[in-house]
Structure 1
Amino acid sequence: MSTQRNETVPRPRIREGGGTTLLTERGKTTIADMVVAKIAGMAAREVTGVHAVGTGMTRALGAVRERFSGGVSPTTGVTVEVGERQAAVDLAVIVDYGASIPDVAAGIRRNIVNKVENMCGLEVTEVNIAVEDLHLPGEEGPEPTESRVQ
Protein backbone atom coordinates (compact mmCIF):
# COMPACT_ATOMS: atom_id res chain seq x y z
CA MET A 1 0.00 0.00 0.00
CA SER A 2 1.60 3.27 -1.05
CA THR A 3 1.04 6.54 0.71
CA GLN A 4 0.58 9.63 -1.42
CA ARG A 5 1.23 13.09 -0.08
CA ASN A 6 -1.64 15.53 -0.09
CA GLU A 7 -0.88 18.11 -2.77
CA THR A 8 -1.87 20.95 -0.42
CA VAL A 9 1.12 20.11 1.84
CA PRO A 10 3.96 22.48 0.96
CA ARG A 11 7.18 20.97 -0.37
CA PRO A 12 10.31 21.65 1.71
CA ARG A 13 13.21 23.56 0.16
CA ILE A 14 16.73 23.98 1.56
CA ARG A 15 17.84 27.41 2.71
CA GLU A 16 21.33 28.79 3.27
CA GLY A 17 22.65 28.26 6.79
CA GLY A 18 20.86 24.95 7.32
CA GLY A 19 17.24 24.20 7.88
CA THR A 20 14.31 23.81 5.55
CA THR A 21 11.94 26.34 4.00
CA LEU A 22 8.39 25.28 3.14
CA LEU A 23 7.18 27.39 0.21
CA THR A 24 3.49 27.89 -0.53
CA GLU A 25 1.52 30.33 -2.63
CA ARG A 26 0.80 32.30 0.57
CA GLY A 27 4.30 32.53 1.98
CA LYS A 28 7.13 30.50 3.43
CA THR A 29 7.82 28.69 6.67
CA THR A 30 11.41 28.07 7.75
CA ILE A 31 12.25 25.06 9.94
CA ALA A 32 15.69 25.13 11.58
CA ASP A 33 17.78 21.97 11.87
CA MET A 34 17.64 22.42 15.66
CA VAL A 35 13.84 22.04 15.54
CA VAL A 36 14.14 18.70 13.73
CA ALA A 37 16.79 17.58 16.25
CA LYS A 38 14.53 18.52 19.19
CA ILE A 39 11.59 16.64 17.71
CA ALA A 40 13.76 13.55 17.15
CA GLY A 41 15.23 13.73 20.67
CA MET A 42 11.83 14.09 22.32
CA ALA A 43 10.38 11.28 20.18
CA ALA A 44 13.22 8.93 21.19
CA ARG A 45 12.73 9.73 24.88
CA GLU A 46 9.03 8.79 24.64
CA VAL A 47 9.86 5.15 23.83
CA THR A 48 9.60 2.63 26.67
CA GLY A 49 12.98 1.06 27.41
CA VAL A 50 14.99 4.20 26.59
CA HIS A 51 16.75 5.18 29.80
CA ALA A 52 18.56 8.19 28.34
CA VAL A 53 19.54 9.74 25.02
CA GLY A 54 23.19 10.66 24.57
CA THR A 55 26.17 9.17 26.37
CA GLY A 56 29.74 9.89 27.24
CA MET A 57 30.88 13.37 26.27
CA THR A 58 27.47 14.47 24.97
CA ARG A 59 25.87 13.75 28.37
CA ALA A 60 28.76 15.45 30.22
CA LEU A 61 28.36 18.58 28.12
CA GLY A 62 24.59 18.31 28.50
CA ALA A 63 24.97 18.14 32.29
CA VAL A 64 26.93 21.40 32.28
CA ARG A 65 24.28 22.99 30.04
CA GLU A 66 21.52 21.67 32.37
CA ARG A 67 23.02 23.49 35.34
CA PHE A 68 22.70 26.80 33.55
CA SER A 69 19.44 26.24 31.69
CA GLY A 70 17.62 24.22 34.37
CA GLY A 71 16.71 21.20 32.22
CA VAL A 72 17.84 18.42 29.91
CA SER A 73 18.43 19.55 26.34
CA PRO A 74 16.28 17.50 23.97
CA THR A 75 19.08 17.60 21.38
CA THR A 76 21.72 15.93 23.60
CA GLY A 77 23.00 12.89 21.71
CA VAL A 78 21.04 13.73 18.54
CA THR A 79 22.45 14.80 15.18
CA VAL A 80 20.33 15.54 12.11
CA GLU A 81 21.00 16.21 8.47
CA VAL A 82 18.19 18.08 6.74
CA GLY A 83 17.86 18.46 2.98
CA GLU A 84 15.23 19.81 0.61
CA ARG A 85 12.63 17.13 1.28
CA GLN A 86 14.35 14.63 3.53
CA ALA A 87 16.01 14.29 6.91
CA ALA A 88 18.36 11.74 8.45
CA VAL A 89 18.81 11.27 12.20
CA ASP A 90 21.69 9.81 14.23
CA LEU A 91 21.40 9.30 17.97
CA ALA A 92 23.00 7.50 20.90
CA VAL A 93 20.90 5.91 23.63
CA ILE A 94 21.14 4.05 26.92
CA VAL A 95 18.64 1.19 27.13
CA ASP A 96 17.09 -0.16 30.34
CA TYR A 97 18.21 -3.67 31.33
CA GLY A 98 15.58 -6.25 30.39
CA ALA A 99 14.23 -4.30 27.43
CA SER A 100 14.54 -5.90 24.00
CA ILE A 101 17.12 -3.76 22.19
CA PRO A 102 15.72 -4.59 18.71
CA ASP A 103 12.20 -3.68 19.91
CA VAL A 104 13.40 -0.44 21.53
CA ALA A 105 15.32 0.50 18.37
CA ALA A 106 12.27 -0.23 16.19
CA GLY A 107 10.11 1.87 18.52
CA ILE A 108 12.59 4.76 18.39
CA ARG A 109 12.67 4.65 14.58
CA ARG A 110 8.91 4.44 14.29
CA ASN A 111 8.31 7.33 16.70
CA ILE A 112 10.96 9.61 15.17
CA VAL A 113 9.74 8.98 11.62
CA ASN A 114 6.13 9.60 12.66
CA LYS A 115 6.85 12.81 14.59
CA VAL A 116 9.29 14.40 12.11
CA GLU A 117 7.19 13.56 9.05
CA ASN A 118 3.95 14.78 10.63
CA MET A 119 5.35 17.88 12.30
CA CYS A 120 7.78 19.02 9.57
CA GLY A 121 6.54 17.48 6.34
CA LEU A 122 9.98 15.93 5.71
CA GLU A 123 10.56 12.33 4.66
CA VAL A 124 12.87 10.61 7.15
CA THR A 125 15.27 8.49 5.12
CA GLU A 126 17.09 6.85 8.02
CA VAL A 127 17.38 6.77 11.79
CA ASN A 128 20.76 5.43 12.92
CA ILE A 129 20.83 4.33 16.56
CA ALA A 130 23.93 3.60 18.63
CA VAL A 131 23.13 1.73 21.83
CA GLU A 132 26.04 3.02 23.91
CA ASP A 133 25.19 1.53 27.30
CA LEU A 134 22.77 -0.58 29.30
CA HIS A 135 21.27 0.84 32.49
CA LEU A 136 21.20 -1.79 35.24
CA PRO A 137 18.71 -1.67 38.14
CA GLY A 138 20.18 0.28 41.08
CA GLU A 139 23.09 1.50 38.96
CA GLU A 140 24.30 5.06 39.43
CA GLY A 141 24.47 7.05 36.23
CA PRO A 142 22.50 9.40 34.06
CA GLU A 143 19.00 10.14 35.18
CA PRO A 144 16.21 8.49 33.21
CA THR A 145 14.63 10.45 30.40
CA GLU A 146 11.25 10.58 32.12
CA SER A 147 10.63 11.81 35.63
CA ARG A 148 10.03 8.93 38.03
CA VAL A 149 8.97 11.21 40.86
CA GLN A 150 5.28 11.42 41.68
Structure 2
Amino acid sequence: MTEQTSTTTRADLATTERSRGGQSSPLQTEHGSTSIADGVVSKIAGIAASSVVGVHALGGGAARAMGALRERIPGASTSRSQGVTVEVGERETAIDLELVAEYGVSVVDLAEGVRRNVIQSVERMTGLRVTEVNIAVNDVHLPEEEPAEPAESPRVQ
Protein backbone atom coordinates (compact mmCIF):
# COMPACT_ATOMS: atom_id res chain seq x y z
CA MET A 1 0.00 0.00 0.00
CA THR A 2 1.47 3.36 -1.01
CA GLU A 3 0.95 6.56 0.90
CA GLN A 4 -0.26 9.59 -1.01
CA THR A 5 0.15 13.12 0.22
CA SER A 6 -2.32 15.85 -0.54
CA THR A 7 0.03 18.80 -0.06
CA THR A 8 0.36 21.30 -2.84
CA THR A 9 3.89 22.10 -3.89
CA ARG A 10 5.02 25.51 -4.97
CA ALA A 11 5.47 24.21 -8.49
CA ASP A 12 1.73 23.60 -8.48
CA LEU A 13 1.13 27.31 -7.85
CA ALA A 14 1.90 28.28 -11.42
CA THR A 15 -0.19 25.42 -12.82
CA THR A 16 -3.11 26.36 -10.59
CA GLU A 17 -2.85 29.99 -11.62
CA ARG A 18 -2.82 29.14 -15.32
CA SER A 19 -5.86 26.90 -14.94
CA ARG A 20 -7.79 29.75 -13.31
CA GLY A 21 -7.33 31.97 -16.32
CA GLY A 22 -10.98 33.07 -16.32
CA GLN A 23 -10.96 34.43 -12.77
CA SER A 24 -10.40 38.13 -12.33
CA SER A 25 -7.52 39.47 -10.31
CA PRO A 26 -6.78 43.00 -9.12
CA LEU A 27 -3.38 42.54 -10.76
CA GLN A 28 -4.72 41.35 -14.13
CA THR A 29 -7.26 43.72 -15.71
CA GLU A 30 -8.42 44.55 -19.20
CA HIS A 31 -6.23 47.69 -18.99
CA GLY A 32 -3.02 45.81 -18.26
CA SER A 33 -1.23 43.70 -15.71
CA THR A 34 0.82 44.44 -12.62
CA SER A 35 3.74 42.29 -11.55
CA ILE A 36 5.19 42.34 -8.06
CA ALA A 37 8.83 41.44 -7.41
CA ASP A 38 9.77 38.82 -4.84
CA GLY A 39 11.70 41.47 -2.90
CA VAL A 40 8.58 43.57 -2.42
CA VAL A 41 6.62 40.68 -0.96
CA SER A 42 9.52 39.55 1.24
CA LYS A 43 10.00 43.06 2.63
CA ILE A 44 6.28 43.42 3.43
CA ALA A 45 6.23 39.97 5.05
CA GLY A 46 9.40 40.71 7.04
CA ILE A 47 8.05 43.98 8.42
CA ALA A 48 4.68 42.38 9.25
CA ALA A 49 6.33 39.44 11.03
CA SER A 50 8.76 41.65 12.97
CA SER A 51 5.95 43.82 14.28
CA VAL A 52 4.31 40.92 16.15
CA VAL A 53 5.00 40.98 19.89
CA GLY A 54 7.14 37.97 20.81
CA VAL A 55 9.26 37.96 17.65
CA HIS A 56 12.80 38.83 18.70
CA ALA A 57 14.43 38.62 15.26
CA LEU A 58 14.02 37.16 11.80
CA GLY A 59 16.48 34.76 10.21
CA GLY A 60 18.65 31.85 11.23
CA GLY A 61 21.95 32.17 13.04
CA ALA A 62 24.01 32.73 9.88
CA ALA A 63 21.55 35.26 8.45
CA ARG A 64 21.50 37.22 11.71
CA ALA A 65 25.32 37.21 11.85
CA MET A 66 25.53 38.54 8.30
CA GLY A 67 22.88 41.14 9.14
CA ALA A 68 24.89 42.28 12.16
CA LEU A 69 27.97 42.69 9.96
CA ARG A 70 25.97 44.55 7.32
CA GLU A 71 24.64 47.00 9.92
CA ARG A 72 28.20 47.98 10.88
CA ILE A 73 29.04 49.10 7.36
CA PRO A 74 28.60 52.87 7.06
CA GLY A 75 25.68 53.72 4.81
CA ALA A 76 24.28 50.17 4.79
CA SER A 77 20.66 49.65 5.72
CA THR A 78 19.03 46.93 7.78
CA SER A 79 17.52 44.16 5.67
CA ARG A 80 13.78 43.95 6.31
CA SER A 81 13.55 40.67 4.42
CA GLN A 82 16.19 38.75 6.39
CA GLY A 83 14.84 35.29 7.19
CA VAL A 84 12.05 35.58 4.61
CA THR A 85 11.80 33.49 1.46
CA VAL A 86 8.95 34.00 -0.98
CA GLU A 87 7.72 32.57 -4.21
CA VAL A 88 5.51 34.94 -6.17
CA GLY A 89 3.21 33.94 -9.02
CA GLU A 90 0.80 36.03 -11.07
CA ARG A 91 -2.00 35.88 -8.48
CA GLU A 92 -0.61 33.96 -5.49
CA THR A 93 2.39 33.85 -3.22
CA ALA A 94 3.87 31.41 -0.70
CA ILE A 95 6.03 32.64 2.17
CA ASP A 96 8.59 30.93 4.43
CA LEU A 97 9.79 32.66 7.60
CA GLU A 98 12.62 31.85 10.01
CA LEU A 99 12.41 33.58 13.35
CA VAL A 100 13.66 33.77 16.90
CA ALA A 101 10.97 33.85 19.59
CA GLU A 102 11.17 35.68 22.91
CA TYR A 103 11.43 33.32 25.88
CA GLY A 104 8.09 32.75 27.61
CA VAL A 105 5.93 33.34 24.55
CA SER A 106 3.70 30.50 23.37
CA VAL A 107 5.18 29.40 20.05
CA VAL A 108 1.76 28.24 18.84
CA ASP A 109 0.17 31.63 19.59
CA LEU A 110 3.16 33.46 18.15
CA ALA A 111 3.06 31.48 14.90
CA GLU A 112 -0.69 32.12 14.56
CA GLY A 113 -0.23 35.85 15.16
CA VAL A 114 2.66 36.10 12.71
CA ARG A 115 0.78 34.10 10.10
CA ARG A 116 -2.35 36.28 10.46
CA ASN A 117 -0.39 39.56 10.32
CA VAL A 118 1.70 38.49 7.31
CA ILE A 119 -1.32 37.28 5.34
CA GLN A 120 -3.33 40.45 6.04
CA SER A 121 -0.43 42.77 5.19
CA VAL A 122 0.66 41.01 2.00
CA GLU A 123 -2.87 40.54 0.66
CA ARG A 124 -3.90 44.13 1.48
CA MET A 125 -0.78 45.73 0.03
CA THR A 126 -0.22 43.58 -3.05
CA GLY A 127 -3.54 42.04 -4.05
CA LEU A 128 -1.84 38.63 -4.15
CA ARG A 129 -3.54 35.69 -2.44
CA VAL A 130 -1.25 34.14 0.18
CA THR A 131 -1.49 30.36 -0.18
CA GLU A 132 0.75 29.47 2.75
CA VAL A 133 2.97 30.95 5.43
CA ASN A 134 5.43 28.41 6.80
CA ILE A 135 7.16 29.41 10.02
CA ALA A 136 10.36 27.89 11.39
CA VAL A 137 11.17 28.95 14.95
CA ASN A 138 14.89 28.21 15.14
CA ASP A 139 15.83 29.80 18.46
CA VAL A 140 14.50 31.29 21.68
CA HIS A 141 15.93 34.57 22.90
CA LEU A 142 16.70 34.73 26.61
CA PRO A 143 16.71 38.13 28.35
CA GLU A 144 20.19 37.57 29.76
CA GLU A 145 21.55 37.17 26.21
CA GLU A 146 21.27 40.92 25.63
CA PRO A 147 24.69 42.45 25.04
CA ALA A 148 25.64 44.92 27.74
CA GLU A 149 25.56 48.53 26.62
CA PRO A 150 29.12 49.82 26.58
CA ALA A 151 29.62 52.72 28.94
CA GLU A 152 30.49 55.88 27.07
CA SER A 153 34.03 56.84 27.70
CA PRO A 154 34.84 60.49 27.91
CA ARG A 155 36.46 61.95 24.83
CA VAL A 156 39.19 63.61 26.84
CA GLN A 157 40.85 62.09 29.89
TM-score normalised to the size of structure 2?
Answer: 0.72
1:139 aligns with 2:145: yes
Counting strand residues as a fraction of each chain, which structure ranks higher? 1
1:38 to 40, 43, 50: 43
Q: CA separation in 2, counterparts of 1:60 and 1:41? A: 17
> Which 4+ residue blocks in structure 1 deviate beyond 6 angstroms?
none
2:19 is equivalent to residue 48 of structure 1? no
State the alpha-carbon separation in 2 of the partners of residues 45 and 139 from structure 1.
19
Q: Rg bigger for which structure? A: 2
Secondary structure of 2:34 counterpart = strand
Deviation at 1:137, TM superposition (A): 1.3
* Distance apart, 1:85 and its partner CA: 1.1
Residues 5-54 of structure 1: CA distance to partner in whole angstroms, max 9, x if unpaired?
A: xxxxx726xxxxxxxxx333444433111000000000000101000111
- How many correspondences in the alignment? 123
Over the matched positions of the two proteins, sequence identity in percent amounts to: 59
1:59 CA displacement: 1.1
Q: TM-score normalized by structure 1?
A: 0.75
Distance in 1 of aligned mates of 2:77 and 2:139: 22
* Residue matched to 1:90: 96
Matches within 5 A, 1:34-113: 34-68=39-73, 69-113=75-119
Unaligned runs of 5+ in 1: 1-9, 13-21, 142-150
Determine which structure has the larger helix proportion and give its number. 2
CA RMSD of aligned residues (A): 1.7
